[in-house]
Structure 1
């Protein structure tokens, strides 16, 4: 509760200060949402800062890994927010551009998220490796799968940031699930939930949005919580689920699926300004 409260207050205050004194001016952060309204991307950095503060005050390995993943994902998301192009979209588009020799910010982000996930997993697994009698191959597979979980979770969260409040609701709905995995994951989930609660009013009102900066950071943090609370079998299952959803998004619109379900449509629309 303390971590959630601290992250919520920090995110809220950071957003308020940033709106009054936006770095490099308002124009740098202004975007147009799905409804054609002007919104600010300052929510993303505020979310990341809010989640980072309680993690920075916690000396546990899980918190250190979560802080690393959050900061790296936010930085990579910011690169895509401010230097990316809209001509190439989706995992298939960025990988296709890479095969043609074109390096997009999206491709850089994919590689960077995997690297950040690998580092976060290494921080979590280091004490386990010292006590382990298993072979190096198993440990390598565990690390690779853990990195995949963090990267896939970061990408998936970003796919929900298409309507006001949607990505934050996904974080708030999934955070309790990761929290039951243990004390370390609970701290990471609380930080993610708190920052999301702090940003939810402005997001629902259509005044701001997470952007890649905030959405990637949120997904990476929750992915790290899963890695911190699971071993290889559960990590592999999580990676399979997350990867399936990311790949499915290449062919199926999540917005269309939500609109087709009365329950999902009601949850998605709750609290949103008309």
Structure 2
């Protein structure tokens, strides 16, 4: 085998990924000003931590762009039709439920524990509780679709593991979306960790690369506290991390990821991640990178 036989496919893959990234970034550049304008016109504004009224559902950018970019990828044979449709189902579904929670949410009940207690004690289904139930249904559909074509003797445990990964990852980014830019930084960090431990990166990298391009365009606006991602963005992004874990990681890496996310979820009910970050010099420095200090 000649060296050119190895380098040519590699070069084509690199060019393909560069084009995907550039197209996604350019589309975000074109569309985001219009989305911000629509949010202002609709009056969907909330005070940031400086008490300034800013667009509260800017994460709708991801819902608007990812289906378009995914369809382009699919038409160019970057990803399979089956995987693309599963991906679209999840991002549109999770984004829609996040949007409903942004619009209808009652902040009196916070966290999974708060929504569960509201249902048990008050017989009241909160918007967050409804989002969790609907998200669980989507997670079950996705996990089943991934497992059953190649079902093994261990499929019930694989189904449960994948289901829990999707559910917990969907809420993970939301746990950190309390300061400008923090959710985006957490997403980028977890994304890179998953890529580093991926066992089949080539099969799925093109599906998730557009998210990185869109985040890199969006993040400066968030860091300057000009927009908020909202649940529509954080839930969608979290679900994509869950999909990456299911598709890309080994069983051992999945179990480790699940343990970490369970620990994060339980910790969020007891402690403030913001206070932990502010008390740690390294974490505080990373958290403040790119953020305007006032």
Instruction: Return the TM-score normalized by structure 1.
Output: 0.89
* Runs of 5+ unmatched residues, structure 2: 1-16
Structure 1 residue ranges, 4+ long, deviating more than 4 angstroms after superposition: none
**Partner residue in 1 for 2:237:** 218
Q: Residue 40 of structure 1: which of 42, 46, 55 is its match?
A: 55
Q: What per-residue deviation string (whole Å, max 9, x for no partner) do you get for residues 220-241 of structure 1?
A: 0111011011354432332221
Q: Is 1:143 equivalent to 2:162 in the alignment?
A: no
**In 2, are the aligned partners of 1:258 and 1:268 still within 8 Å (CA)?**
yes
Report the number of matched residues. 266
Q: Residue 246 of structure 2: which of 224, 227, 237 is its match?
A: 227
Q: Residue 3 of structure 1: which of 16, 20, 32 is its match?
A: 20
Q: Is 1:82 equivalent to 2:98 in the alignment?
A: no
3-state SS of paired residue (1:43): coil
**Partner residue in 2 for 1:179:** 195
**In 1, are the aligned partners of 2:102 and 2:232 still within 8 Å (CA)?**
yes
Q: Is 1:15 equivalent to 2:15 in the alignment?
A: no
**Partner residue in 1 for 2:119:** 98
Q: What per-residue deviation string (whole Å, max 9, x for no partner) do you get for residues 49-70 of structure 1?
A: 3333332333424433322221
* Runs of 5+ unmatched residues, structure 1: none
How far 1:117 moved relative to its partner? 1.5
How far 1:203 moved relative to its partner? 0.7
Instruction: Return the TM-score normalized by structure 2.
Output: 0.84
Q: Is 1:261 equivalent to 2:283 in the alignment?
A: no
**Partner residue in 2 for 1:71:** 92
The Cα RMSD (Å) is 1.9
Q: What per-residue deviation string (whole Å, max 9, x for no partner) do you get for residues 178-207 of structure 1?
A: 234122342344132122112112111111
**In 1, are the aligned partners of 2:57 and 2:102 still within 8 Å (CA)?**
no
190 and 147 in structure 1: CA distance in 2 versus 1, 3 angstrom threshold: same
| Bigger Rg, structure 1 or 2 | 2
Partners in 2 of 1:195 and 1:37 — Cα distance?
25
